[in-house]
């Protein structure tokens, strides 16, 4: 009986093994029949994508990188010539700059960019930091006062000259969205919703930034930020029409003409944020990097204006800014009290001279 039971068990095991072998053979046959995924040459695909942008239409390049090919190649040249950025065995300077510009222009995440160019997220992040450091090294060369001479916009206008002959540009602050740890978010909550950093900038009448100070908390008053700019070793220094109704006194005339000059800074900020979407979106990197990105965007803006001042995206952005309604923020009582008496005296002097000439000649 025992021998019979043992034989039965062995027969059962043998049949199970035979069934298993048959199943394995069947699965192998099916595996051979499944089509394999096509081989993708990542290097070739990456090169084709970059070339399609840089050697396609100018408009396509501007849409992707926020500048024309001539400005792109010139940027690569000055970064390489100054040894601010070097090619590596893994990536050319062209690709490094391409990645950086696409990210800040469209607020693209590192992982999204990595899938587009077949690179790892870590690689994209690393070279983004490389180009960011390189661009910031161009700050002193590209963001500075061009001349202390009276700008043509003022010198060639009877409305502005000689009253504003010492004016070389406009200065103001703007808020850029910021992402900070919860324990310090209170300091970064200013006039706008959410957390922001307060960015002070001066801009010339040809829409080039001449000074930028970023990183202040959104709750900081503009006057505090300005005082900080004055006290820094390499800080900021100053070389000494709303309706159809005509102005009725010297104060109205001054305000009318002064505001038309001041809109320069508003247009500058508007164009900057239209071109670089990263400045108007929730940041996804550390706060020190957020501050550097603001400065880098201003540097690249000046680079574009220097190489291609009539760049289509700049023109489109300017038109959008000019057609939109600008909402001015009112000064707090504390800020208004901080206006210097010397400026008030200077303003009154200009008002009187301007009004005297206006009532005499009508200009």
Rounded to whole angstroms, the Cα distance separating 61 from 144 reads: 28
pLDDT over 50 (residue 254): no
Confidence band of 89 (pLDDT split at 50, 70, 90) = very high
Looking at the structure, do residues 203 and 107 belong to the same domain, yes or no? no
Q: Residue 181: inside a domain, yes or no?
A: yes
pLDDT over 90 (residue 295): yes
Single residue among 110, 137, 164 that ends a domain in this structure: 137
Looking at the structure, do residues 48 and 92 belong to the same domain, yes or no? yes
Task: Report the percent of the chain where pLDDT is more than 70.
Answer: 57
pLDDT over 50 (residue 145): yes
List the single range of 37-41, 101-105, 175-179, 185-189 with lowest mean pLDDT: 37-41
Q: Residue 228: inside a domain, yes or no?
A: yes
Single residue among 106, 137, 168 that ends a domain in this structure: 137
pLDDT over 80 (residue 282): yes
Mean local confidence (pLDDT), 296-315: 82
Domain count, the chain: 2
Q: Which of 192, 150, 189 is nearest to 167 (CA)?
A: 150
Looking at the structure, do residues 122 and 187 belong to the same domain, yes or no? no
Q: Which of 133, 136, 130, 217 is nearest to 173 (CA)?
A: 217
pLDDT at residue 28 in the model? 65
Q: Mind spelling out the 3-state secondary structure of 256-296? A: HHHHHHHHHHHHHHHHHHHHCHHHHCCCCCCHHHHHHHHHH
Q: Residue 224: inside a domain, yes or no?
A: yes
pLDDT tens per residue across span 67-82: 999 999 999 999 999 9
Q: Residue 13: inside a domain, yes or no?
A: no
Residue range(s) defining the domain that contains residue 88: 42-137
Average pLDDT, the chain: 75
Looking at the structure, do residues 165 and 277 belong to the same domain, yes or no? yes
Q: What is the dihedral of CA 306, 312, 315, 317, to 10 degrees?
A: -110
Looking at the structure, do residues 253 and 175 belong to the same domain, yes or no? yes
pLDDT at residue 250 in the model? 45
DSSP bridge partners of 212: 201
pLDDT at residue 155 in the model? 66
Q: Residue 301: inside a domain, yes or no?
A: yes
Single residue among 93, 111, 137 that ends a domain in this structure: 137
Looking at the structure, do residues 195 and 108 belong to the same domain, yes or no? no
List the single range of 34-38, 130-134, 151-155, 232-236 with lowest mean pLDDT: 34-38
Confidence band of 8 (pLDDT split at 50, 70, 90) = low
pLDDT at residue 261 in the model? 52
Q: Residue 329: inside a domain, yes or no?
A: no
pLDDT at residue 6 in the model? 53
Task: Give the three-class secondary structure for 244.
Answer: coil
Q: Residue 145: inside a domain, yes or no?
A: no
Looking at the structure, do residues 122 and 221 belong to the same domain, yes or no? no
Task: Report the percent of the chain where pLDDT is more than 90.
Answer: 32
Looking at the structure, do residues 114 and 156 belong to the same domain, yes or no? no
Looking at the structure, do residues 172 and 249 belong to the same domain, yes or no? yes
Residue 206 CB-density burial (10 A; 0-12 exposed, 13-18 middle, 19+ buried): middle
Q: Residue 14: inside a domain, yes or no?
A: no
| Strand duo 209-217 + 196-203: pairing | antiparallel
Looking at the structure, do residues 234 and 187 belong to the same domain, yes or no? yes
pLDDT tens per residue across span 98-138: 999 999 999 999 999 999 999 999 999 999 999 999 999 99
pLDDT at residue 206 in the model? 81
Mean local confidence (pLDDT), 211-227: 77
Looking at the structure, do residues 269 and 199 belong to the same domain, yes or no? yes
Looking at the structure, do residues 93 and 186 belong to the same domain, yes or no? no
């Amino acid at each position: 009986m025992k021998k019979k039971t043992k034989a039965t068990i062995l027969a059962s095991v043998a049949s199970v093994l035979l069934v298993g072998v048959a199943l394995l053979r069947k699965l192998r046959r099916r595996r051979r029949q499944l089509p394999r995924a096509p081989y993708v040459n990542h290097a070739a695909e990456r090169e084709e994508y970059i070339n399609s942008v840089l050697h396609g239409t100018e408009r396509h390049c501007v849409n992707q990188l926020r500048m024309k090919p001539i400005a792109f190649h010139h940027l690569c040249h000055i970064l390489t010539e100054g040894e601010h950025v070097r090619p590596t065995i893994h990536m050319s300077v062209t690709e490094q700059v391409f990645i950086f510009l696409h990210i800040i222009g469209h607020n693209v995440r590192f992982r999204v960019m990595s899938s587009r160019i077949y690179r790892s997220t870590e690689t994209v992040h690393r070279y983004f930091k490389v180009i960011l450091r390189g661009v910031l090294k161009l700050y002193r060369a590209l963001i500075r006062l061009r001349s202390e001479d009276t700008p043509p916009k003022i010198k060639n206008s009877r409305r502005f000259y000689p009253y504003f002959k010492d004016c070389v540009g406009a200065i103001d602050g703007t808020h850029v969205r910021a992402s900070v740890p919860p324990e310090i978010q209170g300091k970064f909550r200013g006039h706008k919703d959410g957390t922001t950093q307060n960015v002070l900038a001066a801009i010339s009448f040809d829409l080039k930034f001449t000074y930028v100070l970023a990183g202040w908390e959104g709750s900081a008053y503009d006057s505090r930020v300005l005082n900080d700019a004055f006290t820094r070793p390499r800080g900021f220094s100053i070389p000494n029409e709303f309706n159809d109704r005509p102005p009725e006194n010297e104060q109205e005339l001054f305000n009318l003409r002064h505001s038309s000059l001041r809109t320069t800074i508003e247009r500058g900020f508007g164009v900057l944020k239209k071109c670089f979407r990263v400045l108007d979106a929730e940041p996804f990197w550390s706060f020190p990097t957020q501050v550097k990105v603001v400065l880098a965007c201003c540097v690249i803006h000046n680079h574009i204006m220097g190489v291609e001042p009539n760049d289509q995206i700049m023109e489109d952005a300017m038109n959008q800014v000019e057609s939109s309604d600008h909402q001015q923020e009112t000064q707090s009582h504390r800020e208004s009290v901080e206006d210097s008496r010397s400026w008030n005296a200077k303003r009154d002097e200009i008002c009187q001279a301007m009004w005297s000439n206006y009532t005499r000649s009508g200009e």
